[in-house]
């Protein structure tokens, strides 16, 4: 899979949207986070992007300046130091500058504060995340390719799944398949202190082990500093094998979950999986422009209660994840969030819906698909069989 560069028109449109949101007294936004820089400039090299309320954006890169100039459709200038930012960016005295305060390290904040002297700072992260939540045709095309990669990757699981292999071995096999398809091999997650594997591939009771991650599932993981995801536990017959992973095409993510097994699993667990599919269908059916994440989350909760699974939907009492879906794009944890939040559903969003029923000591039964919202409803991008895949 070759690099896909961002067209100049795409970048210009994104910049204009951010500038249009600066009607509340902000003079400009200074961006340092790699994903946001890539979104607004087309390159994620080491540097910054400055977007004034009016006029042209400024892209300044330290390393690699050569690559940044090859990748970005905008003019790229060298960034030699931070001390001269005020003059180089033409920022007026007493300006109000937006920063990505959800992810910007304190050390960067203090350097910018010294460089801009009498400027005041506000958080622009929320408006950026809302802008990024609605995808263009360019982005949707990449999301569809990521979904196809994921479909192809899931289809290889039966070729590798064997009794006695470890969860990590199965993860490695699937990762190898998708890396050969062009998967970038890493995953962007915006939340502080989170490190995310390419997938949660876990079996039996191991899948129900809780962790710190903002996810329905945890897993034991492989070390104290990577305490979630697949472990060295051996996969057994007649237990659910939980496969939750992502396809990525030129940065854009599609997310899905299916349950596999070596032989039939317990009827109680089969019924829980069917309930998960019913909840996903109910949420997807109502995921239309104008609805909110809060309404869709409440719908999933009421469906879980109606079907008799409210006690374990999203996790057992005390460790429920608190959401049933999330936007996907250049990062895994994008807006909108289908949770008790008033995030409005709009046309052109790519949203992963993931009702998971978690039984401590038994396993996780759940489904997940990435949907594209349209004016009339949703399109399932990760179109593949919903039933448990018995090997």
User: pLDDT tens digits, residue range 142-173?
Assistant: 999 999 999 999 999 999 999 999 999 999 99
How much of the chain is in helix, strand and coil states, percent to nearest 5? 35, 25, 45
Distant-in-sequence, close-in-space partners of 202: CB < 8 Å, separation ≥ 6: 167, 217, 219, 229, 230, 231, 233, 241, 242, 364
Alpha carbons 199 and 367: distance in angstroms, whole number? 14
Half-sphere exposure of 377 (CA within 13 A, CB side): 9
Classify residue 323: in a domain, yes or no: yes
Whether residue 331 is predicted with pLDDT greater than 90 in this model: the reply is yes
Task: Give the mean pLDDT of the chain.
Answer: 96
Q: Is residue 244 located within the same domain as residue 276?
A: yes
pLDDT of residue 195: 87
Question: Residue 90 sits in a domain of what CATH number?
Answer: 3.40.350.10
Residue 151 contacts residue 20 (beta carbons within 8 Å): no
Q: Is residue 41 located within the same domain as residue 100?
A: yes
Classify residue 248: in a domain, yes or no: yes
Q: Is residue 95 located within the same domain as residue 181?
A: no
Alpha carbons 188 and 330: distance in angstroms, whole number? 7
pLDDT of residue 197: 86
Q: Is residue 119 located within the same domain as residue 140?
A: no
Q: Is residue 121 located within the same domain as residue 145?
A: no
Classify residue 1: in a domain, yes or no: no
Q: Is residue 301 located within the same domain as residue 182?
A: yes
Give the least confident one: 49-53, 130-134, 194-198: 194-198
Across 252-267, average pLDDT: 98
Domain hosting residue 376, numbered range: 134-390
Q: Is residue 151 located within the same domain as residue 282?
A: yes
pLDDT of residue 266: 96
Q: Is residue 270 located within the same domain as residue 356?
A: yes
Across 64-87, average pLDDT: 96
Whether residue 1 is predicted with pLDDT greater than 80 in this model: the reply is no
Classify residue 333: in a domain, yes or no: yes
* H-only helix segments in the chain: 8-20, 34-41, 65-71, 85-89, 106-116, 125-133, 137-155, 157-160, 167-181, 267-286, 293-307
Transcribe 282-300 into DSSP letters. Answer: HHHHH--TT-BHHHHHHHH
Domain boundary residue among 127, 162, 196?
A: 127
Q: Is residue 267 located within the same domain as residue 159?
A: yes
What's the total number of domains in the chain? 2
Across 76-94, average pLDDT: 95
Q: Is residue 170 located within the same domain as residue 96?
A: no
Across 379-391, average pLDDT: 97
Classify residue 2: in a domain, yes or no: no
Domain boundary residue among 127, 148, 183?
A: 127
Across 85-107, average pLDDT: 96
Residue with the two structure tokens 């009492």: 317
Classify residue 3: in a domain, yes or no: no
pLDDT confidence of 2, banded at 50, 70, 90? confident
Give per-residue pLDDT as tens, 30-46: 999 999 999 999 999 99
Question: Residue 155 sits in a domain of what CATH number?
Answer: 3.90.230.10
Q: Is residue 49 located within the same domain as residue 175?
A: no
Across 91-117, average pLDDT: 96
Whether residue 3 is predicted with pLDDT greater than 90 in this model: the reply is no
Whether residue 273 is predicted with pLDDT greater than 80 in this model: the reply is yes
Q: Is residue 118 located within the same domain as residue 141?
A: no
pLDDT of residue 196: 86
Domain boundary residue among 72, 106, 127?
A: 127
Residue with the two structure tokens 């180089």: 88
Classify residue 191: in a domain, yes or no: yes
Residue 118 contacts residue 46 (beta carbons within 8 Å): no
Classify residue 70: in a domain, yes or no: yes
Across 264-285, average pLDDT: 98
Alpha carbons 211 and 220: distance in angstroms, whole number? 8
* Dihedral sign of CA atoms 69, 73, 74, 75 in order: positive
How far is residue 203 from each of residues 74, 103, 216, 316, 364, measured CA to CA in Å? 48, 33, 15, 18, 8
């Amino acid at each position: 899979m070759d690099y896909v560069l961002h067209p100049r028109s795409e970048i210009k449109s994104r910049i204009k949207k951010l500038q249009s949101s600066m009607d509340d007294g902000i003079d400009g936004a200074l961006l340092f986070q790699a994903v946001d820089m890539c979104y607004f400039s087309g390159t994620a090299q080491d540097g910054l992007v400055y977007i004034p309320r009016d006029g042209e954006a400024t892209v300044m890169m330290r390393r690699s300046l050569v690559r940044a100039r090859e990748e970005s459709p905008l003019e790229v200038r060298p960034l030699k130091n931070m001390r001269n930012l005020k003059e180089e960016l033409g920022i007026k005295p007493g300006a109000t500058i937006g920063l990505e305060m959800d992810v910007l390290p304190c050390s960067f904040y203090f350097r910018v504060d010294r460089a801009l002297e009498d400027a005041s700072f506000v958080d622009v992260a929320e408006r950026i995340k809302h802008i990024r939540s609605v995808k263009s045709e360019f982005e949707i095309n990449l999301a569809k390719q990521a979904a196809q990669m994921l479909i192809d990757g899931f289809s290889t699981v039966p070729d590798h799944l064997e009794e006695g292999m470890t969860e990590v071995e199965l993860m490695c096999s699937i990762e190898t398949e998708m890396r050969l398809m062009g998967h970038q091999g890493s995953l962007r997650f915006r939340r502080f202190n989170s490190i995310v594997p390419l997938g949660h591939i876990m079996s039996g009771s191991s899948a129900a082990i809780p962790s710190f991650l903002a996810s329905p599932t945890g897993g034991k993981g492989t070390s104290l500093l990577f305490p979630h995801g697949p472990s060295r536990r051996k996969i057994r017959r007649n237990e659910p094998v939980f496969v939750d992973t992502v396809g990525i095409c030129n940065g854009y993510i599609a997310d899905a979950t299916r349950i596999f097994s070596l032989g039939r699993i317990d009827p109680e667990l089969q019924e829980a999986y069917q309930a998960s599919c019913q909840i996903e269908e109910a949420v997807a059916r109502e995921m239309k422009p104008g609805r909110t994440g809060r309404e869709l989350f409440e719908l999933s909760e009421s469906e879980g209660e109606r079907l008799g699974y409210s006690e374990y939907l999203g996790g057992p009492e005390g460790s429920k994840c608190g959401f049933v879906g999330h936007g996907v794009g250049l990062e895994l944890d994008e807006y909108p969030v289908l949770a008790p939040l008033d995030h409005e559903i709009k046309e052109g969003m790519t949203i992963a819906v993931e009702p998971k029923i978690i039984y401590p000591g038994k396993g996780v039964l759940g489904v997940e698909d990435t949907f594209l919202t349209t004016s009339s409803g949703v399109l399932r991008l990760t179109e593949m069989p919903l039933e448990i895949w018995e090997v």
